[in-house]
Structure 1
Amino acid sequence: MVVTQVNKITELSKQSGIISIDHVTFYVSNAKYAAAYFTRFFGFKLIGYKGLETGSRSMCSYVVSQGDVVLVLCSTYQYGSGDLWSIVSSRGDMVKDVAFTVDCLDNYLNKLVTNGVEIIRQPWTESDQHGSVRMAVISPFGDITHTLIERTRYSGTFLPSFHPPLESKNFDEPLDISPEYRVSFKVIDHFVPVLNAGQLEKAFDYYSKLGLETFYSVDDFKVKTDKSRLNMVIVANKSKDVIINLVAPSAEDKLSQLHEFLKYNNGSGIQHLALRTDNIVATVTGLRARGVQFLEIPSSYYDKLRQRLDSSKISIKESIDTLEKLQILCDFNENGYILQLFGKPLFDRPTSYLEIIQRNNHSGFGAGNVQALYEAVERLQKQRGNL
C-alpha cells in the first residue's frame, strides 16, 4: 500500500509552508445561479463579486462564505473559447481550484522547485486599499490546480480583485428558520480527489513534495462491496488544518461510484468537500428545511448501530432516533465518535457533492460507515442506469 512510502518523504515535508485551506473555486455554467443555490439552500452569505461592472471582461465570479468556508463560483462570458469554457464543456460544473494559505510564498516556492514541483503560474501580486496579496499556482493532476496565497499584508474581505456584491439582497435567506436550526459550517474538514486507477501513488508523491504527510488513523483501509473496490490514502499538514483523502478504484473495480465519477468528469477530479459543523443535528435540520437532499440510509443500519453502541463504552449525546430521522451516520472508537452524512450531487452530473461532518474527539473518516455509504450510492447509480 502507498502508505509504506512515508519514510521516503523528502525533507520538505518537515517544513511545510501550507497553513490552511484559503478558499475553493468552482467552474460552473452559471455563476449567479450557483451563488444563489449556495446561499439559499446552504445558508452561505454573498461577500464578493467581479464581472463586467467591475472591469472583468472574460468571466464573472461570486464569492460566498460561512465561518471559514469560502467558495468562489466562476462562469465565462466568452462562448466557445477559453479555459473555463472548455473545462465546463468537458467536465461539467466542478471544483477547479483548492487554494492554500502559505506562510512565506517565495521561500515555499523555492522549496517546491528544488523538490521538482512545476509552478504553472509564477508569483504575482494584487493590491488595493486594504493591502497586497502574493499568489502562485501549481497543479497536482489533470485540470485541478492549487493557488498558493500569502495574505499577511492584506486586511480586506477576500482578495483585491473582488468588489462588494452589487445585489446581495437577492441572495438573502428565503426562510424564517428559528436560530437553533440555522446552518452553521465552521471549516472545510477535508476534500476528496478521485484518481484514475494506478494514479494513487503518483498523487501521494506529489502531495508529499508539498510537505503533506500520511495521516495515520484507523481508516487506512481497503473498502469492498459487491460492486466497489476502493483504495485510499489520507495526507495532511502538521496542524491537520489541510486534510486530503486520495481515492482511486482498485484494479478489480469496474462498476463503482468512482468509475461513474471518472466517466462523467472525463477523468480525475475532486469529488466532494466535507464541511465541518459543531451541531450536525441543527445544521442538517436547517438544510433539510431549505430543501437540501441527502443519501437515504436503510433502518437496518441504525438497528446495527444501536447494537454496536450497547456493547461499547462510548456514549453518544445525540439521540439515535434523531440521527435515524435525519439519516446521519455514526462511527466511533474508544476515544470518541464522528457524525456525518452525504448530499446528493450538487449539479446535473453525478460528480460533485458535499459531506456534512461533526467530530467528537474522533479524527477518523467513518471507516464503519463506508459500507452503508457505498450501498446508498449504488442504489442511486441503479436509478441513474449506471450500475
Structure 2
Amino acid sequence: MLLNHLEISCRNLTKAKQIFASNFSLSLVNEHKDSCILKSNNINLYLKKSPSEVSRVTNIAFTCPNLTILKKNLANKLKTKTSEVKENCRYHPGVPFVDVASPFPALSHRVYEHSSETHGEVSMSRDIDHVLICCDKRTAKLHAQWYAEFLNVDPYPLAGSPSGSMKVAVNGSGMEMFVNCSKGSDLPIFAFSEPITNSSTGCNQIERFLKANHGGGVQHIALKSSDIFQTVHNLRENGVRVIQQPHSYYELEDKLLQFNDLGIDPVLAYENSVIVDQDQDGYLLQVFTESLLEKDGMFLEIIERRGSRGFGQGNVKALFSALQKKMESSAVS
C-alpha cells in the first residue's frame, strides 16, 4: 500500500485552512462550504468542518493494487470488517475504495484502488517521514501489531531492545514507543506511544493528549527536510512557533560532539531549537512545532536524516521533557 492523503476534522475550518495555507505554504486547490483540499509537493491534506470540540486526524488514506485481495487479507489476518466497494468519494470521483475501521474509534482508513486519478498522489512518504499515534496504557504494542498486519510491514527494533520498543522516563513520568517500518515500500514509518506513570507523578503529556482528544489518535506528523535550518527559518518567517529546548541540552558533551561531527555550531542549533542524535547508521536532526490548532492537540515535527533510520532515544527523552515542562506551566497553545 501507499499513502494517499490525510484527512483532518477541524473545529474551526477557517482557522485550520489559514494555518496550513499561510504558515506552512500549502496551496488551496479545492474548496467547498464544509471542506477544502490543500497540497504542497507530495503532501495532500483534506480538511473538513467538524462539530467536535477538538481537531484531529480522522482518516489516513492509502491506495492499493487490488481491493478484493485487500479485503480478503484483512478478513483472514485481522478479522477486520471493511465496507463494500464504493465509488462516490468527493476526493476521487469514480475511483473504487473501501473503508477500514482502525483500533481507534475516531480514526479510520480509506483505501483506494490504484488508478490514473490517484497515481500522482501516492508518494507522500517523500515528504512525510513518520506518523506517531498516542495510545492508552498497555495498548501500543497491540496497535503496532495491528498496523503491521494492515500495512504488511515489519516491527522496527529500537535502541537495541529485544522487544523492539523504546522507553523514556523523566521524573517518574514517561512513555514507551513501538515502531513499524516498511523496508520494501514507500510507506512512512508508523510509531505508537503509550504513557508510563505512577500514582505519585500525576498526568503526563500523553495522558493529557488522550484526555483532550477523547482517546488515542495522531499526536504528530513528521515532515522531511533536506536543510532543517532553512526550513525552521521559513517556518518562523511564516509565524510558526517551535518548542525551545533548554540551553543545558546544547552544553551536553555528547551533543557537542555530535554537532561538531556534523560541522554545526551549537549556538546556531540552540537559536533554531534544533536537536541532534546519532545511531549506528548516522545522524538525525529534529525540530518540533507547538500545538497547531488547539491546546494539547496535534503538532508537526521537522526531521532531517543524515543516515540515521531510527528516532534517537536521547531526542525522544529531550522532547518528552520539554513537552512535560511546557504542559506543567500551562504554556502549550
**Normalising TM by the smaller chain, what interval?**
0.7 to 0.9
Could you tell me which residue of structure 1 aligns to residue 32 of structure 2?
50
CA contact (8 A) 2:158 2:166 kept: no
| Counterpart for residue 74 of structure 1 | 48
Match of 2:14 in 1: 32
Distance change (3 Å), C-alpha of 1:313 and 1:65: closer
Work out which of the residue numbers 155, 158, 182 in structure 2 matches 1:214: 155
Is the Cα–Cα contact under 8 Å of residues 124 and 134 in structure 1 kept in the other structure? yes
Q: Which residue of 1 aligns with 2:58?
A: 96
1:379 Cα deviation from its structure 2 partner: 1.7
Give 1:190's match in structure 2, choosing from 115, 118, 130.
130
Q: Note if 1:236 corresponds to 2:181.
A: yes
Q: Distance in 2 between matches of 1:332 and 1:275?
A: 19
Q: Is the 8 A contact 2:249 2:255 kept in 1?
A: no
CA deviation digits over 1:225-261, x for unaligned, max 9?
1142211110123336231111111363742101111
**Counterpart in 2 of 1:149?**
112
Equivalent residue, structure 2, for 1:122:
84
Shift of 1:32: 3.1
Structure 1: runs of 5+ lacking an equivalent: 1-17, 52-59, 76-83, 160-184
Give the Å deviation of 1:101.
2.2
Q: Residue 298 of structure 1 is aligned with which of 246, 260, 284?
A: 246
The share of aligned pairs that are identical, in percent, is: 23
CA contact (8 A) 1:217 1:363 kept: no
Aligned structure 1 segments of 4 or more residues deviating by more than 6 angstroms: 155-159
Is contact 1:113-1:119 (8 Å) kept? yes
Report matched runs for 1:281-360 at 5 Å.
281-304=229-252, 307-308=253-254, 315-360=261-306
Counterparts of 1:282 and 1:239, CA distance in 2: 29
Amino acid at match of 1:36: Q
**Number of residue pairs matched?**
320
User: CA–CA distance in 2 between the matches of 1:195 and 1:377?
Assistant: 17
Deviation at 1:116, TM superposition (A): 3.2
Shift of 1:293: 0.6
Q: Is the 8 A contact 2:250 2:270 kept in 1?
A: yes
Q: Is structure 2 residue 315 aligned with structure 1 residue 375? A: no
Q: 2:68 aligns with which of 75, 82, 106?
A: 106
Query: Does residue 217 of structure 2 align to residue 269 of structure 1?
Result: yes
Residue 223 of structure 1 is aligned with which of 154, 168, 186? Answer: 168
Structure 1 residue matching 2:85: 3-state secondary structure: strand
**Backbone CA RMSD of aligned residues:** 2.7
Give, as a single letter, the amino acid of the residue that structure 2 aligns with 1:228. S
User: In 2, Cα distance between the equivalents of 1:197 and 1:310?
Assistant: 35
Q: Of the two, which has the highest radius of gyration? A: 1
Q: Residue 96 of structure 2 aligns to which amino acid in structure 1?
A: R
Q: What is the deviation of 1:383?
A: 1.9
CA distance in structure 2 between the aligned counterparts of 1:322 and 1:313, rounded to whole angstroms? 10
Deviation at 1:335, TM superposition (A): 3.0
Gaps of 5+ in 2: none
